[in-house]
Each structure stands twice: as C-alpha cells, then as structure tokens.
Amino acid sequence: MQFKHEFKWISVLLSILVLWVPALPSAAETAGAEYDPGSLNYELVWADEFDTDGLPDPARWAYNTGGNGWGNGEQQYYMAEGNAAIENGILTIELREEKSSYYTSARMITKNLGDWLYGKIEVRAKLPSGRGTWPAIWMLPTDKVYGDWPASGEIDIMEHVGYDPDVVVQSVHTKKTNGGSAVSKSTLVPGAREEFHVYGLEWLPDRLIFTIDGEQTHVYEKPEAAEDEKVSNVWPFDQRMHLLMNLAWGGTWGGREGTDKKCLPAKLEVDYVRVYQSPEIMALTGQE
C-alpha cells in the first residue's frame, strides 16, 4: 500500500536524523566552552566580617577537634573552645602551650554551614611568627564524591611555615598529584607576619586561579586524563567544598626545622572571609 511505502521512508529518514544528532556536552564541558573568565560577574553569597566581639558565629563555623597528629605529625590538640575569639573586628586563632609539651589551637570549618561548587574565595589575614608554626587556609570536599583524601581533592589557598617566614605556598592535591608531587607554587610575601594580605582563589569548572592581594600567583588548569585513568584522578573539583582555617604546631612540614617555643602564644589573625559566585557559572553548571 502507498501508506506503508511512505511510512517506510519516513522511518528511514528519522533513523538518519537520530544518527546525525550529536551528543550534548556535560554541564562542565559547556561551562568550559562558553564562558570568559575575564568577564564574569560575581555576587557575594557568604561572608564573615568578624564585627561582633566574642566567639565565632556558630551559624557559620564549626570545629574539628582532637590531637591525633592529623596525618602530618602535628603536635597540637585542636579545641572547640578557648582558642578562637573575635575582638575589634579581628578573628584570632591562638596556638599556645598549656603545660610542658602540651599545645592547643583551633581548626575552624564551614562544613555543612558554607559549602560551594565554584566561586571566588577571599581571606584577609596576618600570619604568625615563629619556627614551628604552620597556619593554613584551605578547602576540602564536603561529600567526598570520589572517596577519602586525596581522591576527592584538596585546595590550599594559603599555607605558611614559620621557618620560611616570607614565603606563602598555594597548592592542589589530587589522587595523581599528592604528597611530594602536589602541584604547588611558592610566592615571596615580605611582611606576611606583620601586615594583612588577601589570599584568594577563583575556582572555575576548568581551572583554579590563585591570587595574593588580587595578583595572580598560580593557575592549575584541568588536565587531560590518561586513557587508563579516571578524570577525577586529576580533577576532582566538580563537587561541593568547604573552607578550613587552622594554626598547627610542628609536624612533618611545620616542624621540619624544629620548633621554638619562645614564639608562643602565636596567632593567625583574620579580618574577613568572603565568598562570591558567578550567576553565569551557576547557570552553565545547573546550579540555578
């Protein structure tokens, strides 16, 4: 019948069209292809200006506690009370010796209070002095989508060790680039212990841009994964992450040149923490 003949040709044409239609890119691929990092707009989505004297805001900050070395041989015990306070618009994390060879400090976190996927983070801080101090401003995955550390990644916005006083290190840890092979950049910051500086990260779907006082210091671009490895091995940064701020004592890096207790108590001082996100990136990655 004529109808059956026409229907047969329509079916053939539809099959050709189905074969011709290209696969749609993922949200991350779309974002990487369709945005200009230099022209993105950003909106403030989370901040702590530390304007109220007393304890840090429990709606913004929680604490990691304990004294198990934290995988780095750190010597301090992290407390939930007594080592972090706000005065005159400045948050102070204080590291001190409580008694012979017993040290306390604080490790503040925004986990489940401030968690983000992509954005710009700025922290204005003044670093401590003294051999043995090891302050850090950094990010960890909230949901550990790819497994425990380092498989789900780590971003170090600022690390500093007291025996190298004018140098700030910014690093990226992944399953492939971890430990001695971590992708790091050291930057000379004279006066890091005497003056406040703004340590920043712009986290995009295809790169991490590190800054100090608004000047670009380091870029980690999303690498191509080898044929026999997962993309997450080199780029696990497509999941929510949260912020941490802590001041450690000693350890495998902070104590590499020994420790000098004469510097205690030591202080990591923070003027503000600000987090911005781009509506363009939010839309491209399906976060509207």
pLDDT in tens, 184-194: 999 999 999 99
Q: What is the pLDDT of residue 179?
A: 63
Q: What is the pLDDT of residue 27?
A: 42
CA atoms of 44 and 29, how far apart (whole Å): 25
Of 284, 143, 281, 129, the closest CA to residue 192 belongs to 129
On whether the CB atoms of residues 28 and 239 are closer than 8 A, the answer is: no
Q: What is the pLDDT of residue 185?
A: 96
Whose tokens are 């304007």? That residue is 51
Measure the CA dihedral 54/69/156/179, to 10°. Answer: 180
Kindly report the pTM of this predicted structure. 0.88
Greater confidence (223 vs 12) lies with: 223
Mean pLDDT of 215-236: 90
CA atoms of 264 and 202, how far apart (whole Å): 34
Of 118, 119, 116, the closest CA to residue 42 belongs to 119
Mean pLDDT of 267-288: 95
Residues tagged active-site: 154, 159
Residue range 187-221, pLDDT digits in tens: 999 999 999 999 999 999 999 999 999 999 999 99
Mean pLDDT of 42-55: 98
Residue range 126-148, pLDDT digits in tens: 999 999 999 999 999 999 999 99
Mean pLDDT of 73-99: 97
Reply yes or no on whether the pLDDT at 55 is more than 80.
yes
- Exposed, middle or buried by CB within 10 Å (0-12, 13-18, 19+), for 239? middle
Reply yes or no on whether the pLDDT at 5 is more than 60.
no
Q: What is the pLDDT of residue 108?
A: 99
- What count of residues does the chain have? 288
Whose tokens are 């749609």? That residue is 24
**Domains of the chain: residue spans and CATH:** 27-284 (2.60.120.200)
Residue 265 preceded by cis peptide, ω within 30: yes
